[in-house]
Amino acid sequence: MTKRIVSLLLIAVMALSLVCAASAEETPSWKQDTSPVTLKVYYDRPVDAAQMVSAWGNEPVSKKWMEDTNVNVEWDYAPDESHSKLNMMIAGGDYPDIVISYTNYDMLNDLVANDVIIKYNELQNQYAPGFVDRHFGANMILSVRQRFATQDLYVLPTGSLTPAEIASPDVQGCSTGMMVLKSVYEAIGSPDMTTLEGTLDAFRKVKEMFPDMIPFQASRNPSLDGDGNPRCISKLFPFFELTGNFYQDAESGTYKKYWYNEKFYELLKFVNTLYNEGLMDPTELTDSGAQLQAKLFNGQIFANMNNDADNIDWFNGELANAGVNDEWIFVPQPSINTVDGYGYDNIMGGVGDHCVYIFNTPNAGRALQWLDYVMSNEAQLEINVGVQGISWDYNEAGVPVMFPEVQALTQDEQKVQFGAGLYHCLRTGPWQSIIKRSSASEKQVAALDFMKQYFRDYSFFGSAKPENYAADSEEIKIKTNVREYWEPQILQLIMCKPEELEAKYQETLNKLAELGQGKLDEVIAKYFDSKLEETLKYGSDLDLSYMGL
């Protein structure tokens, strides 16, 4: 058997296991109550959310879901990444039935403490027996328990993979990195960009030869990370071996946050150089997502430092639509590590950084049953490629493949016309990896294969969430004050004169100490020092063989 056939069999077995688990009940949970109901679902991000609102009920996926479950959805979404709208809704007691948000959303601690959100492990008993077994892998259960220091399961992580799914060769361990415009790369002599200085030199050459082009852009999105870093900082972490935001200090053995790491200072120097030499557009710090995407799609950017190989077809399609005779390619990746090179972990132990939770509303039971339906194998396929027979069908190898006329559409057209990829915030499991290859061009498959070589397991740090504090705690007050200081301060570090950077960086660290960061550092160190102990505590009833335990 080829690896391809073996992997397909693994996927088939996993799909069958889901079907068998569901058939253990006399009736699927979502068929137990088919009376008409409207669920309020809030997506705590602005990304593509407006499309979901306008397309719901007008494209094949949502129409089928509504027909199968008799559930209508009233979508709402955040205007930005600040959580402010959701916080106001919660403060006013205006609870949605379902919220999709980040797992590191601080307010979750208070919602748990006040029984405002419901435990999956208890709610399932009445409304969807076996829900946890169907949709939570051991890694997900362990992560959620540790997140809230309890045996209960308050959130369902989406974008997740079970240990068995991670073992499939179809799952892409690393797809994220720097991509460049091919013709421009060749025009500057196809330089070696595996070192940071080599990357800067390539950018300088682009600026010299193509003065109307922007050599560097970090990302296609404008949002800040949890600390207040702009994307031109946070999205460069992998190139400086800072994935996961924490590290172990070699000299003291103490676990610390990234901003003490000398590699983070090197990252600051790198971005400061980009800014001062005009290798990045200064407006990147203020542009909207639409503006950032437009630059990438119109061929104005040479290097996009953070993108996924499974977006090659989308981005190349946008270039073609804009009349740009070029294509995006992935080249050998830059890294501060000149020995081991670049490394990134897209799967982070298989537990996604988004989660779904159910509020204690009169519709809580139906909300769980609807999620049981949405997390089913069939619905997950529809989230990725739409409805069978309308936008895709199985090929001779039993793999879902989009129809050529659908593949030819832009990603936005696929979403709005066919629902394919539209409800990505509810996507989980291995289908995305499989379909991104089966419905992709040879160029995209080649890019995926190329980036596979860069997988490095960062799950110890990347899946860690030590900074989750209750709203009334001293720690959250310190964290809030630190972010209020850091958000404008990081811009000063980016924009200052190069000769001023070292002194300003040291002043920044001193100010963090003054604000009480040391107390948070103690929490971080304690978290990592006791991580194994906590794993054994909250995983005593789980199969932890995937961790070697």
**Could you report the per-residue pLDDT of 275-300, keeping only the tens digit for each?**
999 999 999 999 988 899 999 999 99
pLDDT on residue 289: 86
Give the CB-side neighbour count of residue 19, counting CA atoms within 13 A. Answer: 7
pLDDT on residue 170: 81
Q: Please name the residue that has the structure tokens 């200072």.
A: 265
Reply yes or no on whether the pLDDT at 214 is more than 90.
Answer: yes
Three-state DSSP state, 70: coil
With vertex at residue 47, the alpha carbon angle to CA 85 and CA 371, rounded to the nearest 5 degrees, is 80
pLDDT on residue 20: 46
Q: How far is CA 392 from CA 65, 313, 328, 406, 411, in A?
A: 17, 17, 26, 8, 15
d(CA 339, CA 195): 10
Element (H, E) at 487: helix 474-495
Region 207-222: what's the mean pLDDT? 94
pLDDT on residue 312: 93
Nearest by Cα to 455 from 546, 347, 350: 347
Cα dihedral angle (354, 99, 140, 540), rounded to 10 degrees? Answer: 140
User: 334-358, pLDDT tens digit by residue?
Assistant: 999 999 999 999 999 999 989 999 9
What are the residue ranges of helices labelled H in 252-359?
262-276, 289-297, 312-321
User: 99-125, pLDDT tens digit by residue?
Assistant: 999 888 888 988 998 889 999 999 999
Reply yes or no on whether the pLDDT at 477 is more than 70.
Answer: yes
pLDDT on residue 10: 46
pLDDT on residue 462: 84
Which residues make Cβ contacts (< 8 Å) with residue 473, sequence separation at least 6? none
d(CA 30, CA 373): 6
Nearest by Cα to 333 from 231, 242, 451: 451
User: 169-204, pLDDT tens digit by residue?
Assistant: 888 999 999 999 999 999 999 999 999 999 999 999
Three-state DSSP state, 84: helix
* Percent of the chain whose predicted confidence (pLDDT) is above 90: 79
pLDDT on residue 384: 95
Element (H, E) at 449: helix 442-452
Q: Is the dihedral of CA 303, 285, 225, 221 positive or negative?
A: negative
User: 297-347, pLDDT tens digit by residue?
Assistant: 999 999 999 999 999 999 999 999 999 999 999 999 999 999 999 999 999
Phi/psi of residue 453, each to 5°?
-65, -15
* Percent of the chain whose predicted confidence (pLDDT) is above 70: 95
Reply yes or no on whether the pLDDT at 3 is more than 60.
Answer: no
The mean pLDDT of the chain is: 92
Determine how many CB atoms are found less than 10 A away from the CB of residue 24: 11
pLDDT on residue 2: 38
* Amino acid letter, 259: W
Phi/psi of residue 280, each to 5°?
-130, 155
Reply yes or no on whether the pLDDT at 478 is more than 60.
Answer: yes
User: 128-160, pLDDT tens digit by residue?
Assistant: 999 999 999 999 999 999 999 999 999 999 999
Extract the tokens encoding 404: 């050529």
User: 78-101, pLDDT tens digit by residue?
Assistant: 988 788 999 999 999 999 999 999
Three-state DSSP state, 394: strand
pLDDT on residue 48: 73
d(CA 44, CA 352): 15
Q: Is the dihedral of CA 515, 521, 523, 524 positive or negative?
A: positive
Rounded to two decimals, what is the model's pTM?
0.83
- Residues forming beta bridges with residue 180, ordered by sequence position: 303, 329
User: 484-522, pLDDT tens digit by residue?
Assistant: 999 999 999 999 999 999 999 999 999 999 999 999 999
Where does the pLDDT of residue 18 fall: very low under 50, low under 70, confident under 90, or very high at 90 and above?
Answer: very low
d(CA 500, CA 373): 57
- Tell me the domains of the chain and their CATH numbers: 3-169+349-375 (3.40.190.10), 174-346+472-549 (3.40.190.10)
pLDDT on residue 157: 96
pLDDT on residue 470: 80
Reply yes or no on whether the pLDDT at 7 is more than 50.
Answer: no
Region 363-377: what's the mean pLDDT? 98
pLDDT on residue 282: 95
Where does the pLDDT of residue 24 fall: very low under 50, low under 70, confident under 90, or very high at 90 and above?
Answer: very low
